[in-house]
Structure 1
């Protein structure tokens, strides 16, 4: 028994007198509430346009004028970007595989990014678009879904907070190693990285609005409920104990 104790003490002495490196992966997780609202309003051709084989200059101008008015509206507050459009022949293939034109197609879209303070502005845009589409039989407006995302500033601030929290955790672990090994332990090297859980889309209203009563305005779209998401910062740590 005495021999075993002496061997154990000898091993501890050797361990205490030797520098060692300890490798460890650590992580810190926090919750984040996405604050950015994103939507993609779109306008497409109606069935009438899709079956209008011969489109006159006046008819094309009617479509162009509607798109121009809508683009002027969305430029007022700067929450939506885009607005390009096209008017192109619409083709199908018959049973014999022959391509033939049966009408015209068109497409317009914008990407809107805003916080909840601009939700009323976004709804104002939608109402204006709807009012213009009701006057044009060649176009159909689709009310967009809204989903939440993390904006760049919010993400950057959270990264900084998580990096500090991870460093604090790493220093705490160094103290535990020092106490266990009876050595002085310090962080020799740390590599930071991040693994972020994807933010699932959270949808509000989404439906075709081409047949809404022209005397009525659209009901306001409310902000979708925010679901807290996990964000994790990971670090690879090398401790030097001596």
Structure 2
């Protein structure tokens, strides 16, 4: 709507809302400007060009004229304004949109301390792949660490305590002895053991630890063998 109105063509969206207080409840295509009264809506509809111009006049912007490579690109004949907002550059293919952004706008905003990311559409695929690779490298975990995590996780989820077969009799005897042993009242379940898989898991852990130690030893041996040292 703003773009169409900017070309002095009138654009309106119909609505069945009869009460202005219910206007925000209606889902309409978003427009850039915050319309919080019927008066503003009327002015936008009746004088769109002037309305938008006044709003932009009060918006913060950067004036850009110089190029970053003046030996190759001359300064612009007149400065252009880049608003601290969404900016759209219109132009057919080959008209110099990318050159304008790369050699004028981006350097100027960087000079103002802005953190700018510049991507060309034709390089999107390469940039996307590089981004994925960079992220993958940062989150890659070695196979050894993954195995250790897996073993520890299995220990947690497989942990169980087996009740002694004569648990009920032991519990009754415990309370019979409460007069002679007051502290026994605090003990309700005195015997526990790991599940049968514990020894197996522990064995795997020991093997992993041994592998890790031997790996470290081999690395040191390789350094000793492959490092040139002065005979003296």
TM-score w.r.t. the length of structure 2 is: 0.19
Larger Cα-atom Rg = 2
The alignment's TM-score, normalised by the length of structure 1, stands at 0.18
Relative to its length, the structure with more strand (as a share) is: 1
Report which structure shows greater RCO (CA 8 Å, sep ≥6): 1
Considering fraction of residues, name the structure with more helix: 2
